[in-house]
Amino acid sequence: MDTILLKSIRAVDAENDFISDIYIEDGKIKYVADSIDMDADIVIDGTGLAVMPSFFDMHVHFRDPGFTHKEDVLTGCAAALAGGVTGVVCMPNTNPVADNADTIKYVINKADGTGVDVYPAGCITNGMSGSGLCNYKELISAGVKAISDDGRPVENAEQMRQALEMSNDNGLLVISHCEDLSIINGGIMNKGEISEKLGVKGMDRASEDMITAREIILAESVDARIHIAHVSTKGSTEIIRQSKKAGVKVTCETCPHYFLLTDEKLLARDADFRMNPPLRTAEDTEAIIEGIVDGTIDCIVTDHAPHAAEEKADFEKAPNGVVGLETSFAASLTGLYHTGKVSLNKIVQLMSVNPRKLLGLEYISIKPNETADLVIADLNKEWTVEPQMLHSKSKNTVFKGMKLKGKPIMTLSKGEIKYKEM
């Protein structure tokens, strides 16, 4: 394994921000000092660049097995590395669904050697049917850290309560897709002025808020952890904020598109801007940003959900979902860091530290003896998102044609360079 010396680079983790030399050997950070005069196989001039702990995206869909025309584990991992991500949680709505050890092991084994630590989420209920809980002991033995029926809610509240109660003993993080299907009732975008203008059925934000409240009530009743996926509304953010203040063990995540974009993007009748939950209003984006700033929101994820171009061709009939692994950091810098709303330390906390903490995984700091899972970025690089340049099989990005500021240019996994911008 090559030794690597980073010279005069800005080193940023959750707590520190300083200029340093960093020496990497045998997959570890060996030395961190003002000046390191040692031979190395690879020397990188870090002037004007930043190095951070690599990111962990705890909400992605790699579509493998069963839907590999959209994405597979290998292309998903390539997209992750291009975005500075070396760890992911894959959601279980595959075919077959990840409610058994064989499917879990298939995904983990396929990811071996990619440089990305892939942790498949197991299902909460058998077959994601909403009826009957999975064999959690079997899932844990296969490598599962979290369970979710993401893609749909667990409609039966008692089933969800039981899963939460059992999590106190088995340690699994329960991740909830908060959506009341009876309220959604076939809606395809946010219900409001824009949906009315387009003449299409909308998704009332009450759908998300209702189930968010339900999950928190259930978690509180059994004193268990609950993690709320892809928060998009002002209402859910406030419910979570107040519940945290009350001592409920609730955490949550959001995605860059929920704080950068609004449902006005749908005026173009382009299905690439459709996802679930949908883009909301400016009032909601402002609330999401406030939730990030004050700590209500714990993580930034992507909900990376690839779909082939032909599947996205019809605005009203297309499946929901957007890709995001390669743009998440850049979009977060653009919308949060370069606007002065949060520090770079906070970005690291949201994208690297907190997801790992929630899953009981080791998180990384820039100091000796730490695993060299690192991302090197040019924080000021301006670039335009070109879908065809993405590493994902699918190109359904909401940021197409958008100019972003900041970009990962190199990703190291356990001391090996796994991605380098050409």
**For the chain, domain boundaries:** 4-51+369-420, 53-358
Q: Is 303 known to be catalytic?
A: yes
Look at the block and give the residue holding tokens 């340093």.
20
Q: Which residues of the chain have pLDDT under 70?
A: 422
Helix 234-245 and helix 206-221, axial crossing angle in degrees, nearest 10 = 20
Confidence at residue 362, expressed as pLDDT on a 0 to 100 scale? 95
Confidence at residue 231, expressed as pLDDT on a 0 to 100 scale? 98
The distance in angstroms from the start CA to the end CA of the chain is 21
Confidence at residue 53, expressed as pLDDT on a 0 to 100 scale? 98
Q: How many CB atoms lie within 10 A of CB 1?
A: 12
pTM across the whole model: 0.98
Confidence at residue 3, expressed as pLDDT on a 0 to 100 scale? 98
Confidence at residue 238, expressed as pLDDT on a 0 to 100 scale? 98
- The stretches of 143-298 forming alpha helices (DSSP H) are 157-170, 181-184, 193-198, 206-221, 234-245, 256-260, 282-293
Determine the Cα–Cα distance for residues 219 and 214; give it in Å rounded to an integer: 9
Determine the Cα–Cα distance for residues 89 and 374; give it in Å rounded to an integer: 18
Q: Is it true that the peptide bond before 277 is cis, omega within 30 degrees of 0?
A: yes
Confidence at residue 262, expressed as pLDDT on a 0 to 100 scale? 98
Confidence at residue 112, expressed as pLDDT on a 0 to 100 scale? 98
DSSP codes of every residue in 78-101: HHHHHTTEEEEEE-S-SSS-S-SH
Confidence at residue 65, expressed as pLDDT on a 0 to 100 scale? 98
Confidence at residue 102, expressed as pLDDT on a 0 to 100 scale? 98
How far is C-alpha 122 from the geometric centre of its chain's CA atoms?
A: 17
Helix 282-293 and helix 234-245, axial crossing angle in degrees, nearest 10 = 30
Confidence at residue 390, expressed as pLDDT on a 0 to 100 scale? 98
Q: Does domain 53-358 have CATH number 3.40.920.10?
A: no
Among the options 64, 99, 298, 303, which is catalytic?
A: 303
Q: Is it true that the peptide bond before 408 is cis, omega within 30 degrees of 0?
A: no
CB-CB contact of 402 with 384 (8 Å)? yes
What class does CATH assign to 4-51+369-420?
A: mainly beta
How far is C-alpha 63 from the geometric centre of its chain's CA atoms?
A: 15
